[in-house]
Structure 1
Amino acid sequence: MPGVLAMLALFGTSFAGFGLLPELRSGAHERLLAAPVNRVALLLGRVMRDITVLLCQATVILLLVLPFGLRVSPAGAVAGLLVLLVMGIGLGTLSYMLAMSVKQEFLFPAILQTTTMPLILLSGILLPMDLAPTWLYALSRANPLSHVVDAERALFAGDFGDPSVYIGSGVAVAVAVVALGLGTRLMRRLAA
């Protein structure tokens, strides 16, 4: 279940930039940038909408699988969802930045598929990376999503003291902070 929720967060937020592409093509986004609105608020508003959708979807999935025998620590599930939401903020921001940078509807999916497939395969979403050969496991450690997935598994098991919880949470926060910093700079540069 933690892997499914991590995949939901990855796909739900990284493909969010698709919604911005028609606005970029029609000029609606440029008109918003000319409005007397904080540029960062324009970006954060979109990202928070996507995070709200992610939270609703993840909650529905969790509630649907509970009757089928999922045993999860309630506090761990809440903490796991928080880590996913933080990671989703970073991924959603990066998606919008990519959309604003490429502005081409035929380039956007190609770039996303090129990046998301290796992220999925090297994250341990499908199978724990502990089962992989040593070289593949070492490669997976460079993938930020693999640390978040490890943290999710530990949190859902209720093991708050597991080192992967701290590492995964730190990675999620780092991705969000870096993405928001870069996104803020991009929005201010576009508005100038």
Structure 2
Amino acid sequence: MTTAPAPVSPPGLVHDVRVLAERDFRRSFGRGALVGTVVQPLLFFGIFYAAFSRMLHAKGIDYGRFVTPTLVVQALMFVAIASAMSLATDRGSGLFNRLRTMPIAGSSLGTARLLVVAAEALTSTVVVSLVAHLAGFRFRAGAAAAVGFLLVAVAFTVALAAVTATLGLSLRNQEALAAALYLPYLPLLVVSTGFVPAALFPHWLQPVVRNSPVSAVIDALRALSGGDPSAGRIVPAVLWCAGLTLFFGWTTARAFRKVTQ
């Protein structure tokens, strides 16, 4: 007497996330894609060093300590933008609709994408920090603060990726999407404490600068790397990251459901 073979259960969430993440890793860390993750931050670091280092040193400002967090944030913005463009490409190729016909966990695609975004953010942050070491950048508050620096950077990238993912799934026109992603990034960076203190802005603009999420994250990174990791300088960044992630995670989920209907 033979027994019937046991039914094969479909792969679980972990398997689905691993398969999708491997696909995104190959695309995000391929030879061409490494330009955005590694080469681009190095290029901007060299440009800003040549343009601002002497001026800042003349004013008694440590270039490595002051500008490095700004360049980290800039690199993270490009990671989030690239993630949205990747989502738009997948949407246009019909990948999402094909995945709906497969027995995969519904949350696996988003989880895999966030893992890859976090890995890209970590890579960019480490690369910029290592190069900035040559310009005098140091973690002066010990290993715990350095880990906090990396965690804030990754959290900010995940928050930004949630924002850009909503755009990537909502805008079908590639030109409109590129404009919506690239045009705001420079004003957000300039109208912040990234390059000059808030007190040097016009009085009417100072509240905007001080309450900007970009300023909050840059100030937190400076505090964690500069030896002053007080709660007052870190909590605003954490709150911004959490708020943006929760709200735009919800809007991204809604946009994804519309795309796959």
User: Structures share a fold, TM > 0.5?
Assistant: yes
Query: Mean alpha-carbon deviation: is it higher for 67-76 or for 8-17?
Result: 67-76
Which residue pairs with 2:149 in the alignment? 80
Q: Residue deviations 1:35-69, cap 9 Å, x none?
A: 33233321221122022011012112212322442
Count residues in correspondence: 192
Taking the TM superposition and a 5 Å limit, the aligned residue runs for 1:1-192 are 1-72=68-139, 73=141, 74-192=143-261
Superposed displacement of residue 32, structure 1: 1.9
Against the structure 1 CA distance between its residues 67 and 115, is the aligned structure 2 distance closer, same or farther, given a 3 Å change threshold? Answer: closer
Q: How far apart, in 1, do the equivalents of 2:247 and 2:120 lie?
A: 22
Aligned-pair CA distance for 1:128: 2.7
Larger displacement relative to structure 2 (53-62 or 114-123)? 114-123
The letter of the residue matching 2:217 is V
Aligned-pair Cα RMSD in Å: 2.0
Give the letter aligned to residue 90 of structure 2. E
Structure 2: gaps of 5 or more residues:
1-67
2:236 aligned counterpart, secondary structure: helix
Cα offset for 1:142?
A: 4.2
SS in 2 for 1:89: helix
Over 3 Å counting, the alpha-carbon distance change for 1:77 and 1:131 in structure 2 is farther
The answer to which structure has the higher helix fraction is 1
In structure 1, list runs of 5 or more residues that go unmatched.
none
TM-score scaled by structure 2?
Answer: 0.67
Question: Residue type of the partner of 1:138?
Answer: P
Q: Determine which structure has greater relative contact order: mean sequence separation of CA pairs < 8 Å that are 6+ residues apart, divided by chain length.
A: 1
TM-score, length-scaled by structure 1: 0.88
